[in-house]
Structure 1
Amino acid sequence: MTPLKPTREALLRHVRPADLKAAVQLVTQATTGAIGVAEGVHQAVRNRLGLPAGLEPGRTGGLTGQIYQGIRGVTQLVGHGLDSALATLLPMVDDPTRHPEPSPGREAVLAALNGVLGDRLLETGNPLAQAMELRHAGRRLPLENRPLLHQRLGPATPHLIVLLHGLCMNDTQWQRNGHDHGAFLAQALGATPVYLRYNSGLHTSTNGREFARQLEVLVAQWPVPLASITLIGHSMGGLVARAACEEGRQADHRWRPLLRHLVFLGTPHQGAPLERAGHGVDVLLASTPFTAPFTRLGQLRSAGITDLRHGHVRDADWQGRERFGSSADHREPLPLPEGVACFTVAATLAPQRGLLADRLTGDGLVPLRSALGQHDDPRHRLVFARESQRTVHRTGHLELLSSPVVAEQLRAWLAPAVVEA
């Protein structure tokens, strides 16, 4: 039986015509970058032969340099030509009023792309760069329009829960295996869940600052008097939440005194070893002139990813330093926020705790010690009360989002505080 061809509307749920221009821009930049890598290797060989280099590091000289420059020019010309052609064609094929909402698959791909290249997408003005949004019931909350905001929120409660996703993810991915911590807690505690969507390729401190600003606007327009706010961050989302707390404290935001609880799920407070391994590959490639040009490929990874090397939270942790330079931890100590009940859940794939499992296993991405805030340097150690920590076994990083054990622990931690508020 011949499979049915998908309709145009079905295809547009995954790839919108408006995405094509952004894709052309991205491919053009990638091609130019690959040309640069090839020329860098070429010049490394020429250096050994005593042949002249170009005017810029990693560029070839003479006729060879002119050829590479010509290839770059043709690449840019083709890119501009495709841009012009698409600008002419898109109005004839793109009719947003007929298209359904974007598919979860498309949204997931965009989230992953932003996690890896989000800072570059924003810097180059690429339309695929995601803007930060506060969302409820799968729709953006229009902070600029109070009546519409109230309409989309529906019957809001005095208890606000904001959920922050992790690297390369988005707000829809809190729904996993038929479970959503936000929806579960809304029913169990009578709270109103709001979800943050953000470009996880940007610096954590940048996202934290913008989140604090948007939360301030949301609180000012909340339909009923707010009694308490809870922030729940998964993975990188926990770092963004900490950054927002510090920003809210310094800016004297009105939402900051309303913050009652801060919950971390698999948050790499002390960094993630995979990013440190990535930095090690950079150092290894840079050790010889023939492999040094390939470090550019590794250095495509975003500012958000490199912030995970040590768990950066504030601007001072990264400003004024080369992101791909020293592997040393330059963070300024930042304790947990005062006056807030802080909880952390760490996961491990191991069946039970043990010295080796704690050090090596973790949840597949974040070690137990990092998720629990532990550090050999007391200045960087995050102090969670014993009853505010939970370790779940045989659980992976993403399974924290659907674990019934985690869900029940969240309800147990948050229920007493909600009743008191």
Structure 2
Amino acid sequence: MNVSDARVDDGPVPEYRWVLPSVLLGDGGEGRPVRRSTRDWIVDVAVFLVACAITLLGLPEVQDEPAALLLTEQVAGALSCVSVWLRRRWPVALALVLMVVSTFLELAGGAGLVALFTVAVHRPFKVSGPMVLLYLATIPPYLLVRPQDGMEPLAWGIVVTAMLLTVYAWGIVVRARRQLIWSLRQRAASAAEEAKRLERERIAREMHDVLAHRISMLSLHAGALEFRPDAPAADVARAAGAIRASAHLALQDLRQVIGVLRHPGSGDGDGDGDGQVPERPQPTLADLPSLVEECRQAGMDVRLEQRADDAPDGLGRNVYRIVQEALTNARKHAAGQPVTVTVTGVPGAELSAEVRNPLGARHLPRIPGARAGLIGLAERAELAGGRLEHGPTPEGEFVVRARLPWPEKETAEPMAERAAGERS
């Protein structure tokens, strides 16, 4: 159901997340016209019929009264039942009027109970609480004006009090239920918005990690062609081929991300049968040598020292992205400088990735950046339960160092022993 089409006790409401709880609980506001939905009409007709039924049940009690008083009772009872249709627009005012009338006239009691119920449902406790106390305060004068034959005043007072408190408690329960439903809907809407935000951040992070790497490769090769126009034809052809390959890979990555954004479960595009766009295989720690080789082919001087190969896929993917972004930053800010990548770690301790390069010369042109790469890496490391350190060193180098927890891998034998113990 569309949020803008949602209806509550007072009719259609505006955008859901901006609606006050009182409006969602049927509080249309004093004196404001009320637009009833089909459900509202059904409820109002039912309430009107209940008020009429209670009034008709009270007719035998007033048959022996004088003609003038009997006519007054009948007119007041009819008008009270009709006034129930105003309960949504003026609930508090209607309840006060009917409270006074029902204190002296028997046939207005049914409409008074309906008015009290309406206030309990549509108004907070700071309004409905004093209202029910006023109703209870009218019981003694009612007992004096309307004594019941064959019943002690105390017993009749207990019956009337029980009726008022039961109707009020029912209204409070209805209001509490509506508040609970409203709260659950708000939580669901907030959870949906949070899920969308996290997914957007994930896609943005992946786009930055992948496209920044591809585009920096394009810039590097294009810069080489710009500064070496007299290069041999073979070198020019090789650089042009690298530019074409990097552009093709960048377009592929961009097309997949746009496909995810454009067809989220709709079944269109290139997705599979259930409408989900298939994700391309994610890199792991085993793909680091290929990344380093790609950078070397682009002209970078990169040395890899990898002493950890069997990390879990999720952990390896985080390390791969961190190294990829660090190499991209090295190409941007320290072009032509040697870069050392060191990956070490053991299960049960941590996996460490360090990218180290001399600080670049300040007079060399640099590839512009969004200054969001290191922030994204820090967030990725924190989400993985680790930490990221980066900055210049006294030796004149720039270091990016990530330390991520590496849970100890369970062997098959302990797992089998634990399963046997659970079965026993």
TM-score interval (norm. to shorter)? under 0.3
Larger radius of gyration, structure 1 or 2? 2
* Structure 2 length-normalised TM: 0.18
> Which structure has the highest helix share of the two?
2
Q: Which has the higher contact order (CA 8 A, sep 6+)?
A: 1
* Structure 1 length-normalised TM: 0.18
